[in-house]
Amino acid sequence: MYDTIKHLIETRASVNHYDTSRDLTQHDIAELVRLATLAPSAYNFQNWKFIAVRSPAAKARLKAVSYGQQKVVDAAVTFIICGTLAAHERLASALQPSLTAGILDQALCETWVGMAQRSHCDNPQLQRDEAFRSASLAAMTLMLAAQGMGLSTGSMSGFDPLGVAREFGLAATEVPVMLVTVGYPAPGNWPQKPRKQLAEVMAFA
């Protein structure tokens, strides 16, 4: 297992050129999102939303609010991955499946809802941080799952968030954190770019 995950991480590279002749099934797209939602989130907030953009018309609208980047049209699908604000307001509902499954009990759920309420309620910056954290954890999970399916991905933060919100009818609580293009690669993509020396970014304590 370690060899496989190591291989997937080492061979993932952000792709700009996609094979426009190859599509993804609705089933495969849903499976990628299902796996993405298995990422962790604080309190199991699950404060995310995934819009799978794959119709030509929707891709064109997305391209227009992504500084004209062609890859959002060429990829089989581009996910708009949103983090949601005010996650504490929906925590009780997010925990319901864990309660039903008997993993958490009612008292613990209520404790968590109270804690989340107190820390998040009047703290818009924490809400935004949490949206970015959860959506990014889910996005990385989705990208590695796609890599395992033999697909390539590209994560993009270069887009107009207000334009994306307007074109795709996002609620005020839905913050577009990242676009992730997914599809089969065409020739001409960069290899994974080399990284800084480990010693520059790591310390032991």
Instruction: Give bridge partners of residue 18 from the DSSP assignment.
Output: 185
| C-alpha–C-alpha distance, residues 33 and 102, integer Å | 25
Nearer to its own copies, 26 or 117 (CB): 26
Nearer to its own copies, 21 or 195 (CB): 195
Question: Of 47, 60, 74, 84, which Cα lies nearest the Cα of 176?
Answer: 84
Q: How far is the CB of 135 from its own copies (least distance, A)?
A: 8
Q: How far is the CB of 95 from its own copies (least distance, A)?
A: 8
For residue 23, what are its two tokens? 């599509």
The DSSP string of 116-175 is HHHHHTT-HHHHHHHHHHHHHHHHHHHHHHHHHTT-EEEEE--S-HHHHHHHTT--TTEE
Nearer to its own copies, 113 or 177 (CB): 177
Q: How far is the CB of 150 from its own copies (least distance, A)?
A: 8
Token pair 């954290």 in the structure block, residue: 133
Q: How far is the CB of 175 from its own copies (least distance, A)?
A: 9
Question: Of 107, 108, 112, which Cα lies nearest the Cα of 46?
Answer: 112
Q: How far is the CB of 48 from its own copies (least distance, A)?
A: 6
For residue 129, what are its two tokens? 């941080």
Nearer to its own copies, 101 or 172 (CB): 101
| C-alpha–C-alpha distance, residues 36 and 202, integer Å | 27
For residue 75, what are its two tokens? 């990829």
Q: How far is the CB of 19 from its own copies (least distance, A)?
A: 19
Nearer to its own copies, 163 or 168 (CB): 168
Nearer to its own copies, 2 or 187 (CB): 2
